[in-house]
Structure 1
């Protein structure tokens, strides 16, 4: 859920977010002695839709996919999890958490990712 929005560069937007749940953790992420993952508070995306940028709204919870690169989280339209019937998704490009079917939530919790994804251990 974005807490605030500001423009990081002319090409990117930075969203300050609160993570509700992570389903896949990168092996590059820092883990504390208490076995807690240190997550960046900011997520970056392209400013423009034409460059696969995502526009998030304050007060909404989303299911987002992305990548962790050099200590930052990045997301784009490419690689988002979509419903088979795009008309069911409010924006037709990203899912609000309330739109995520129970079956998909169960698959995420069980880490049943698509076979093209490499499953990383927590």
Structure 2
């Protein structure tokens, strides 16, 4: 599995899904030199942001390590856009309501892996 970036940003200011969105935008911008103008809410991680699947996996790993979250298998089948990733991570951290776009089976796997899921 690819290694996580060495310098993840502090997480103490992440108090809601918009803070999570900003944190993830900074991560992608800084680690992959993606123009911040490309990192909008509806950006597709691979095509609009220009990330390879391996890079998206590293982003997931970094979020996991930084926020003590566990993304279940199949996360990249459920999450396609940047805002979806942010809402999912915020929900798993207990900072946001359950995202409507996730399937019932995936919700169960998230809840089993993350006690903070709201």
TM-score with structure 1 setting the length: 0.28
Query: Larger relative contact order (C-alpha < 8 A, sep ≥ 6)?
Result: 2
Structure that is richer in strand per residue: 1
Structure that is richer in helix per residue: 2
TM-score with structure 2 setting the length: 0.29
